[in-house]
Amino acid sequence: MSQNILIQNVILIHFTFVWWYIIADMGVDVLEDLAKECNFPWLLSNAIDMPDNDDDEEKQLGSALPSKIIEWQGVKVYIHIFPYAL
């Protein structure tokens, strides 16, 4: 997986999506480690890390973002990942 991140960092990826196999097969810790290696954000909308107690806040699983605004050829583009249900 690390070799893919090296390539994506070099070709200036604006963002990537979290694929479920990363979470299901490798775990959230691996997702967070991979995200730290990237110079671009990971997007994921429908997976929330629930707090252990009432004092903590909900946060996106793996510190992924639900949306991102990028500028592409002078135009701002809003990217949002819509949750889905099976």
Indicate the average pLDDT of the chain: 78
* Contacting residues for 85 by C-beta, under 8 A, at least 6 apart: none
Secondary structure class of 33 (helix, strand, coil): helix
CA–CA separation, 58 and 31 (whole Å): 17
Please give the pLDDT value at position 45.
67
CA–CA separation, 67 and 60 (whole Å): 11
Question: Can you give the pTM of this predicted structure?
Answer: 0.66
Residue 86 clears pLDDT 50, i.e. is over it:
no
CA–CA separation, 68 and 78 (whole Å): 6
Please state the domain extents for the chain. Answer: 2-80
